[in-house]
């Protein structure tokens, strides 16, 4: 039996269909989860996709953090279940304190949409094992609240523990401190990043590359080998 990977839809989520598709293309079984579900339908891992959950009306990701589904996701993530937060999902993870720091409005105040070069800094997390340390990948980026901030002590700790998973290369699109595009928790099961790997899983669309597929094959391999 293959791994079941849940994708949560909040009101305002945009990229759930792409995430479900990416899961299926990687060979796992995609499972739709609704923000009101407390029950995770026996999934082995969860993706929190991009969009503007609850309109980002208070702060990006702040209201979703208190949805019924997140109560269970937070509990399970702390117990070791792999969770990937993409864009708004990353914002939900910082608001949930599953990942340190916070996400703020881009330093130039514009919504930005571009193909972004990233450097994979940690290929040992649950979601990055199919990459290699130092590998450069191109995946789409689209956001207005993509500026990662944390205090100096937290940033130093993240660097020292190898928990900066992705860094922007060539161009910092939002003023993120230390060019951080994605981070992981201490256990390596929770990963959040601003750019969108689920939009780069088929050669026909997105960047024209499939650099994002590795996220979904990484987790599938991890879960099947477990």
Partner 1 sequence: MARVVVDVMLKPEILDPQGQAVQRALPRLGFEGIADVRQGKRFELDVEGPVDDAALARIHEMAETFLANTVIEDFVVKVES
Quote the least distance from Cβ 6 to partner 1, whole Å.
Answer: 25
Which residues, including other chains, have CB under 8 Å from residue 138's CB and lie 6 or more apart? Answer: 115, 116, 117, 118, 200, 207, 209, 211
Closer of 16 and 95 to partner 1 (Cβ):
95
Quote the least distance from Cβ 59 to partner 1, whole Å.
Answer: 6
Quote the least distance from Cβ 226 to partner 1, whole Å.
Answer: 33
Which residues, including other chains, have CB under 8 Å from residue 14's CB and lie 6 or more apart? Answer: 49, 50, 51, 52
Quote the least distance from Cβ 4 to partner 1, whole Å.
Answer: 32
Binding footprint of partner 1 on the chain (CB under 8 A): 58-59, 62, 66, 94-95, 100-102, 104-109, 147, 149-151, 175
Q: Is 198 a catalytic residue?
A: yes
Closer of 104 and 123 to partner 1 (Cβ):
104
Closer of 41 and 78 to partner 1 (Cβ):
78
| Backbone Cα Rg of the chain | 16
Structure token digits, residue 197: 């790997």
Cα angle: 125, vertex 101, 5; to 5 degrees: 40
Q: Is 196 a catalytic residue?
A: yes
87, 121, 138, 199: which is the annotated catalytic residue? 87
Strands (E) in 35-111, as ranges, are 45-48, 83-86, 102-104
95, 138, 198, 199: which is the annotated catalytic residue? 198
Closer of 51 and 101 to partner 1 (Cβ):
101
Q: Is 159 a catalytic residue?
A: no
DSSP 104: E
Phi, psi of 6 (to 5 degrees): -85, 145
Active-site residue set: 87, 196, 198
């Amino acid at each position: 039996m293959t791994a079941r990977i849940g994708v949560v839809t909040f009101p305002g989520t945009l990229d759930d269909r792409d995430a479900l598709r990416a899961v299926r293309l990687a060979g796992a079984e995609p499972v739709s989860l609704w923000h009101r579900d407390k029950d995770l339908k026996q999934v082995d891992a969860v993706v929190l996709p991009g969009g503007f959950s609850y309109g980002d009306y208070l702060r990006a990701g702040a209201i979703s953090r208190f949805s019924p589904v997140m109560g269970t996701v937070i509990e399970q993530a702390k117990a070791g279940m792999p969770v990937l937060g993409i864009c708004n999902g990353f914002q939900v993870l910082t608001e949930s304190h599953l990942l340190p720091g916070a996400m703020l409005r881009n330093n130039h105040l514009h919504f930005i949409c571009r193909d972004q070069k990233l450097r994979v800094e940690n290929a040992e997390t649950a979601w990055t094992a199919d990459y290699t340390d130092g590998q450069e990948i191109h995946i789409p980026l689209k956001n207005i609240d993509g500026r990662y901030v944390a205090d100096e002590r937290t940033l130093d700790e993240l660097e020292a523990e190898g928990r900066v998973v992705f860094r922007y290369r060539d161009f910092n699109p939002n003023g993120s401190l230390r060019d951080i595009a994605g981070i992981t928790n201490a256990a390596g099961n929770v990963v959040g990043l601003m750019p969108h790997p689920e939009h780069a899983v088929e050669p026909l669309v997105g960047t024209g590359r499939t650099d994002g597929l590795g996220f979904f094959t990484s987790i599938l391999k991890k879960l099947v080998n477990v």
